[in-house]
Structure 1
Amino acid sequence: MQDHVDHETRHASGDALRTHRHGPAYAALVLEGSYVEASADGPVECTPGTLVLHPRYHAHGNRFGHLGARVVNLALPESGEPATLQVLRVPGRSDAEAVFLRGPHELLALIEASSSEQVVLLHAWQAGFLHELQHGDAPIEQIARHAGVSCEHASRTFLRTHGMAPQALRRELRSRQALALLAGGASLADIAARSGFADQSHLTRTVRAMTGQPPGRLRRQINCVQDAATAAMR
């Protein structure tokens, strides 16, 4: 997991970044070139003027186009952290780049001025497959059979569209659900059961591997972020 966000990154034609995870929530603005970002949210086509808002601990990989890409990144203030991935289109690239240079105090206004973009285009069978991955316990082979595809085809397809094979994707989806539930008052045992984990110990091991912290400590951090966001809106 990467705990920092570089201000600017440049990537050559055909470069690829394997699935990785950033600890902080951050915004990425595409200035030149293009790439596809693959995550549990599905594939996102990123072109000049695309603004991607990543929540904390978001795992994704990137495949860069024939022109490579130049991207500027900026950590999001706590009051602007998204709960889920958001893909926006900025009103003007040069003005947006200037905001990134000046810092996060102007970033929230830029987000307000940006428009939402349609992001996910999947094969028809993938929606049901994803639902079963997250909410059921059936083996991958059985889910693939019900979807009318082979395990090999499902694995190749999800690796390309989501950056993960089905079993890893199942773990990521359940971990995300657990992180969302940590913001509430449910016990860790209840969160484990509702998120599809075998028990609280399984939840703890998975969340620690994902974030570097046990769920109890992470819950306190999430509540602090929520308190800061609430105070900012008053």
Structure 2
Amino acid sequence: MDEPRFRDCARYWRSPLLPGAEMVTAEYREHEFSPHWHEAYAIPAIEAGAEAFAYQGAHHVAEAGTVPVINPGEVHTGSRAMEVGWRYRVFYIPVDFMVGLAGDIGSAPNPMPWFPTDVIRDPDLAARVAYAHRLLEALGATPDLGTPHGDPLAAETALIDAMSTLIARYAQHPGDARRASADPPRVALMKERLAADLTAPLSLTELAEQVGLSAFHAARLFTQATRMPPHAWRNQLRLQRALALLREGMAVADVAAACGFTDQSHFTRHFRRMFGVPPGRWQAGNAGTR
């Protein structure tokens, strides 16, 4: 008998036990994530099927029982690696949480933990991550992040256990794992310029003049450092900024305009590519949460 195929469906949710984080419970078959990045750590546990993704210049396949961690700000994709698709649970955990936990483990302030590019094939860790995710989801927090139902103590204990295990077994320092960009100060300055006003038109020539380079060299430097050309990186930042406005209940069309998208359809197309659901559906599950 053929194995049943997964559907394209996802539910984003939040928990008061993990402020600033987002979680998703999802399965996909037809959907393909275009190149994108997150401000948080993306920490998935693949439960069934297999996901293929491009990351750090290589093609990877994450099968059931693996934890394909994506570091903050790193460009990646996502699609099915087998006919049935894949099912997973994902934590999007803020950097400050992971830095603080790393410091607690080491009993001293630690640099930002950085995780290997390769898929982490550790069934025990995958089980811990999935278990913590299920317990947090089972709490059923209200949209305003009020008092959750269930056992918060067990859920938070499982969360700390899963993330501390990940850090203890696999964390590196960014300098140990990341290739240095050719000119970090110039790249940082370009990012600052791109983020200054997301609604204002900006040409590549104007961006290049900001750092004293030709348009060609500015685009090449930026793309080498971020694995994404400036316009695509700026669109990803717009999507990140849109999340807070959607949570506040702002109309999707107004969010599109406020974040610099040309219109609502342009915003919706990019949003779905990154999050797997249209902004209206994402908002329905997240409105009012901070």
Question: What residue number does 1:16 align with?
Answer: none
| Residues 186-195 or 148-157, more deviating | 186-195
Within the alignment, does 1:179 sit opposite 2:261 as a pair?
no
Question: What residue number does 2:152 align with?
Answer: none
Q: Identify the match of residue 105 of structure 1 among 114, 120, 131.
A: 131
| Residues 154 and 166, structure 1, Cα contact 8 Å, conserved in 2 | no
| Residues 44 and 88, structure 2, Cα contact 8 Å, conserved in 1 | yes
| Residues 52 and 88, structure 1, Cα contact 8 Å, conserved in 2 | no
Cα distance, 1:223 vs structure 2: 4.6
Question: What residue number does 1:26 align with?
Answer: 43
Cα distance, 1:168 vs structure 2: 1.5
Within the alignment, does 1:217 sit opposite 2:269 as a pair?
no
| Residues 129 and 143, structure 1, Cα contact 8 Å, conserved in 2 | yes
Cα distance, 1:131 vs structure 2: 2.0
Letter in 1 for 2:195: Q
Q: 1:103 to 1:20 in 2, by over 3 A?
A: same
Give secondary structure in 1 for the equivalent of 2:124.
helix
Q: Identify the match of residue 203 of structure 2 among 136, 139, 157.
A: 139
Give secondary structure in 1 for the equivalent of 2:56.
strand
Distance 1:171 1:89 in 2: 25
Letter in 1 for 2:131: H
Q: 1:75 to 1:88 in 2, by over 3 A?
A: farther
Distance 1:219 1:83 in 2: 20
Tell which structure's C-alpha radius of gyration is larger: 2
Distance 1:21 1:81 in 2: 14
Counting strand residues as a fraction of each chain, which structure ranks higher? Answer: 1
Question: What residue number does 1:66 align with?
Answer: none
Distance 2:71 2:89 in 1: 9
Cα distance, 1:157 vs structure 2: 2.1
Question: What residue number does 1:126 align with?
Answer: 187
Give secondary structure in 1 for the equivalent of 2:76.
strand
Q: 1:88 to 1:75 in 2, by over 3 A?
A: farther
Cα distance, 1:142 vs structure 2: 0.8
Letter in 2 for 1:81: Y
Give secondary structure in 2 for the equivalent of 1:138.
coil
Distance 1:128 1:141 in 2: 14
Cα distance, 1:205 vs structure 2: 3.4
Letter in 2 for 1:105: Y
Unaligned runs of 5+ in 1: 6-18, 29-35, 39-49, 62-73, 228-234
Relative to the length of structure 2, the TM-score reads 0.46
The C-alpha deviation readout for 1:76-108, integer Å capped at 9, x for no partner, is 45xx43257966368xxx9x6632256622673
Query: Where does 1:152-191 land on structure 2 (aligned, <5 Å)?
Result: 152-191=216-255
| Residues 249 and 283, structure 2, Cα contact 8 Å, conserved in 1 | no
Letter in 1 for 2:285: Q
Relative to the length of structure 1, the TM-score reads 0.54
Q: Identify the match of residue 82 of structure 1 among 61, 75, 93.
A: 93
What is the total number of aligned residue pairs between the two structures? 179
| Residues 117-126 or 139-148, more deviating | 117-126
Cα distance, 1:207 vs structure 2: 1.9
Distance 2:113 2:218 in 1: 29
Distance 2:187 2:234 in 1: 13
Cα distance, 1:143 vs structure 2: 0.8
Distance 2:68 2:272 in 1: 29
Letter in 2 for 1:110: A
The C-alpha deviation readout for 1:179-213, integer Å capped at 9, x for no partner, is 34322222324322332223434323332343453
Unaligned runs of 5+ in 2: 1-7, 9-25, 29-33, 46-54, 58-66, 78-86, 99-111, 133-157
